[in-house]
A = this chain, B = another copy of it.
Amino acid sequence: MERVGVGLLGYGTVGSGVGTLLRDCADDISLATGKQVYLAKVLELPGFSHPDLDAGLVVHDVGEILADPEIQIVVELIGGVDAALEFERAALQAGKHVVTANKQLIAQHGAELFDVAEQSGAHLRFEASCAGAIPVIKALRESLAAAQVDTIFGIVNGTTNYVMSAMSDTGAPYDEVLKKAQELGFAEADPTEDVSGKDAAAKMAILSSIGFHSRTTLADVPYEGITGITAADIAHATSYGYVIKLLGVAKLIDERVNVRVYPAFVPMDHPLASVGGAYNAVFLESRHFDKIMLYGPGAGSIPTASAVIGDIIGVVTTAAGGFVRNCTCYRDLAFFPHADMVSSFYVRLQVTDKPGVLGQITPILGEEGVSVRSMWQSGRDDTAELVLLLHPAREAAVTASLERIAALECVQGEPTTIRVEGEEPR
């Protein structure tokens, strides 16, 4: 049986999972591919040590992996952008196929890597970069290749979904829940990339690129995170019948692309509202099939490794025939301006608690063409909290209103704004 060596770059959470599955599923993989796929070498990064790993497998110079003729597939799981880009580029140039979970690299340097892969006839696969074990990239790239998908939205970051779910369930504040999540392993020691929305933005850039066949990079995806969400926002959401979720939303509007990441009020009876813990769920919409939802674990060692193994099997079976298709961005669509998007908003303001405040605020909304759907005010001491739910309006109008409102003497600090999504029965 032909042997196919795998070179693993990085042996952290996902890397060790890939090692485990290559060993535990060796029989299934060889039955599925007709080849013996085995872990040939592991690049251990400076400062890390893995005593559980067979010392004969460990190398400290990526060159040893690139020069090994038995290694046909390089699995890059070191993350980050700089070294990973260099390693993936070198591997592709050396004619190795590359499988990766590195969403930031694909979202920021995908075009370059696809070009290099194209030139050397190598595969570049990245199912594990989005939504963990859920095969959403394969579904979009292959099954729905001509299905004219026009909306991709959902929960694509497990850490923030864990935090939002726990804040909803317990009423505890953000900092406390985040600390707990770190203790339980649901958030990293430095959670910035997750809680800022940058991780979700990279994933949405990738899904948008594939779903709409037009390149979207991280730079094209504005993102808001969850760090500003307070227990008060959660409580207001609950009282109005919503939960707050960090959503990725990609839309094709008049043949233009709009992709963003933001926390949103989601109605409690919407399927996304019940996606708890570190699970992910992605809705795909198209006039061909109405809607398809894919749900599953969005992170974790073995689930993410399972997606890597799926890609390895895909490479091994497809490479046998010599057919390679990496980039599917055969369109070059413009972007739809964010200011022209129409959205509903929840707005929370601190105002001086005295008569006439509403009389100053509501005319501004009216002048900008923004109408109020519901309003709630409660005073404490000299300060009142004013909560507004706005009807859908052009975001530019909402932004202009809020700038004018924030400048009022009776308004203290900056307004908190959170979009409302999923209102229409989907």
Contacts and interface: CB of A to CB of B under 8 A. Distances in A.
A303 interface: yes
A127 B134 CA distance: 18
Q: Is the interface of A mostly helix, strand, loop or mixed?
A: mixed
Nearest to A311: B143
Contacts of A146: 21, 25, 28-29, 32, 309-310, 313
Contact of A295 (B25, B293, B307, B323): B293
B213 A307 contact: no
Contact of A148 (B28, B134, B143, B320): B28
Contacts of A314: 142-143
A148 B310 CA distance: 12
A135 B145 contact: no
A240 B29 CA distance: 45
Contacts of A323: 317-318, 320-321, 323
A314 B170 CA distance: 47
A424 interface: no
Nearest to A33: B145
A291 interface: yes
Interface string A289-329: 11111111100001101110110011001101111010010
A390 to B, nearest CB: 28
Contacts of A325: 317
Given A147-B306, A293-B296, 8 more contacts: A28-B145, A138-B139, A138-B142, A147-B310, A289-B306, A290-B296, A318-B318, A318-B321
Nearest to A330: B31
A402 interface: no
17 contacts: A25-B148, A28-B145, A29-B145, A32-B145, A133-B147, A133-B289, A135-B143, A139-B139, A142-B313, A143-B307, A146-B310, A146-B313, A288-B303, A292-B295, A317-B323, A320-B323, A323-B323
Interface in A1-60: 21, 25, 28-29, 31-32
Contacts of A133: 147, 288-289, 292
A94 interface: no
